[in-house]
């Protein structure tokens, strides 16, 4: 169920945004001057799709501008005034086969939120959606002006950046984003004093102009429709403070974000270690309700991490007190746009019901993300095939299973169920569990896990249906790149076609619970 809406997102710019864009550009380029309102109006009118704003808490904090250009024009030598029509975007060519990106700026007060990464991803997605050959632009060189005496010419400076002997804040970032420098555009923008008027001639080539299905905000190192998943096999151990817990979690999020993962999955009840802060024994009922007191802090932590590190986080599950005063085990999904979703566990285990009085939820809802539609089945829920089928009926292509099991038998029930859900629904399934020990806390004192990312069993997929897994009972991260197009192809033309061959004339999954809320 959705709990909170978008906080940071990219959308198409509108004329109503012009004053805010103008103020942003003036703030970013203090020595160069902002666009005039007329120029911005021209940019938005000539190619509306090519102009995007980043919104954070209802404030414009980023802007990017693009137009379409022919290959002959985009790849030839040019300057900024020529290619942009003096900043009006009036040179947009509806028949152009390249996206020419002539502006991107980010409010310096918000640079810790990876807004530049998001704008670049949005441009790549636009390029794929419009079936263009790639993206071209003239890139700034803000460190060149103060370093120019150390180099023979601007070409030598660019070569030093390309070879990583020095770092330029703009060019280095663009190289990390998958762009290649094909030359230097001399006297590109004379008013750019930091760059001494010069610019790099940067190109990103679209390798997937015919991509189909759900298009993702792809990273530069992989095609659209390929998503990168990470699962964290988390070690339970005693800690001294919430700050220590936050430091551990941030380490994992930072690590998976560094390799541009789209999703990271944490285990069920993995925040249980917070109870070790109090260093005392508690009854099962007292411990689970005390753990529920951390909900607000956990939500603030994970929402901030999802936004700051530009990654979708399935933050395991956590006990939550309902409006009626009962307890549920609720999985939380924090998307990188700042929105928050909840998925209650439908089937508490006998131990959860007996020791903690956990009650089951009654809604199972697919969640739309920028990298495909997903669903969450917490531990025991993965062992009920109707729930997975209900999520896939709603369009889920990936199922995430946070789990917590004490010994190998329990783990294998989850693992084998994950493989079954992947085969019968032709979807990807990721599972993540706890390892280590947490003495004095019943039902969470010992753990066994081997986390994994599993696939259908057919030729396009991983051998043995395992895209990635971990060493049992060792704190670890596993990664896998998953091609969503391969699922569509398998469903339509695979060796077997479980999804397509269902006998709708004989059986169906009928949900009798309350309807999911939007």
Active site amino acids: 268, 345, 379
Distance, CA of 326 to CA of 332 (rounded, Å) = 18
Rounded-to-integer distance, Cα 165 and Cα 71, Å: 32
> Tokens in use for 56?
């954070």
| C-alpha pair distances (Å), 221 with each of 89, 138, 224, 257, 338 | 29, 21, 10, 13, 24
317-322 contacts: CB < 8 A, separation 24 or more? 317/268, 317/269, 317/345, 317/378, 317/379, 317/402, 318/269, 318/271, 318/291, 318/292, 318/294, 319/269, 319/288, 319/289, 319/291, 319/292, 319/356, 319/358, 320/292, 320/295, 320/344, 321/289, 321/292, 322/359
Give CA–CA dist 404/444, Å, rounded. 8
Q: Could you tell me the CA-to-CA distances from 234 to 140, 217, 401, 435, 479 in Å, in that order?
A: 42, 28, 14, 6, 14
Contact 142, 195 (CB under 8 A): yes
What tokens appear for 397 in the block?
A: 């292509």
Helix boundaries (H) for 376-507:
385-393, 408-425, 484-493
* Tokens describing residue 326: 């009962």
Sequence-ordered list of residues with C-beta below 8 angstroms from that of 116, at least 6 positions apart, any chain: 62, 104, 106, 173
The helix/strand/coil state of 478 is strand
State how far the Cα of 60 lies from the Cα of 226, in Å rounded to an integer: 29
Please name which of 128, 100, 97, 96 lies closest in space to residue 207, comparing C-alpha atoms: 128
User: Taking a C-beta distance cutoff of 8 angstroms, is the pair 487, 397 a contact?
Assistant: yes
Find tokens 């209650």 and name the residue. Answer: 344
């Amino acid at each position: 169920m959705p709990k909170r809406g978008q906080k940071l997102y990219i959308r198409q710019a509108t004329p109503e945004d012009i004053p805010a864009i103008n103020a942003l550009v003036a703030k970013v380029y203090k020595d160069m001057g902002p666009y005039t309102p007329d120029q911005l109006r021209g940019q938005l009118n000539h190619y509306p799709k090519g102009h995007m704003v980043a919104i954070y808490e209802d404030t414009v904090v980023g802007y990017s501008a693009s137009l379409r250009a022919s290959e002959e024009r985009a790849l030839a030598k040019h300057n900024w005034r020529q290619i942009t029509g003096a900043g009006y975007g009036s040179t947009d060519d509806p028949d152009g086969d390249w996206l020419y990106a002539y502006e991107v700026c980010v409010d310096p007060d918000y640079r810790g939120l990876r807004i530049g990464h998001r704008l670049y991803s949005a441009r790549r997605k636009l390029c794929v959606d419009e079936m263009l050959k790639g993206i071209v632009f003239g890139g700034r060189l803000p460190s060149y002006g103060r370093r120019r005496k150390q180099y023979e010419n601007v070409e030598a400076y660019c070569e030093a950046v390309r070879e990583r002997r020095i770092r330029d804040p703009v060019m280095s970032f663009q190289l990390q984003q998958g762009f290649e420098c094909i030359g230097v555009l001399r006297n590109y923008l004379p008013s750019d004093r930091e760059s001494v008027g010069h610019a790099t001639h940067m190109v990103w080539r679209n390798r997937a102009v015919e991509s189909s299905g759900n298009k993702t905000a792809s990273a530069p190192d992989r095609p659209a429709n390929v998503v990168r998943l990470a699962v964290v096999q988390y070690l339970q151990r005693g800690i001294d403070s919430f700050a220590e817990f936050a430091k551990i979690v941030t380490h994992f999020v930072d690590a998976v974000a560094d390799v541009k993962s789209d999703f990271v999955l944490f285990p069920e009840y993995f925040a249980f270690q917070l109870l070790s802060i109090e260093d005392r024994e508690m009854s099962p009922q007292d411990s689970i309700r005390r753990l529920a007191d951390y909900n607000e802090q956990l939500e603030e932590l994970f929402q901030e991490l999802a936004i700051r590190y530009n990654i979708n986080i399935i933050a395991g599950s956590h006990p939550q007190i309902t409006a009626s005063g009962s307890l549920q085990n609720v999985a939380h999904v924090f998307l990188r746009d700042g929105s928050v979703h909840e998925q209650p566990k439908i089937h508490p285990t006998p131990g959860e019901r007996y020791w903690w009085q956990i009650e089951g939820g009654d809604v199972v809802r697919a969640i739309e993300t920028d990298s495909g539609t997903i669903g969450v089945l917490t531990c025991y829920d993965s062992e009920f095939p109707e729930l997975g089928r209900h999520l896939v009926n709603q369009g889920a292509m990936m199922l995430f299973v946070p789990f917590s099991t004490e010994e190998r038998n329990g783990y294998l029930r989850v693992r084998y169920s994950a493989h079954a859900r992947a085969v019968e629904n032709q979807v990807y399934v990721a599972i993540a569990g706890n390892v280590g020990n947490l003495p004095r806390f019943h039902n969470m004192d010992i753990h066994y896990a081997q986390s994994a990312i599993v696939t259908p069993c057919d030729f396009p997929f991983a051998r043995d249906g395992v895209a990635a897994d971990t060493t049992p009972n060792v704190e670890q991260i596993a990664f896998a790149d998953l091609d969503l197009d391969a699922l569509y192809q398998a469903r339509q033309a695979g060796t077997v076609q479980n999804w397509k061959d269902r006998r709708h004339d004989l059986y169906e999954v009928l949900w009798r619970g309350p309807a999911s809320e939007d």
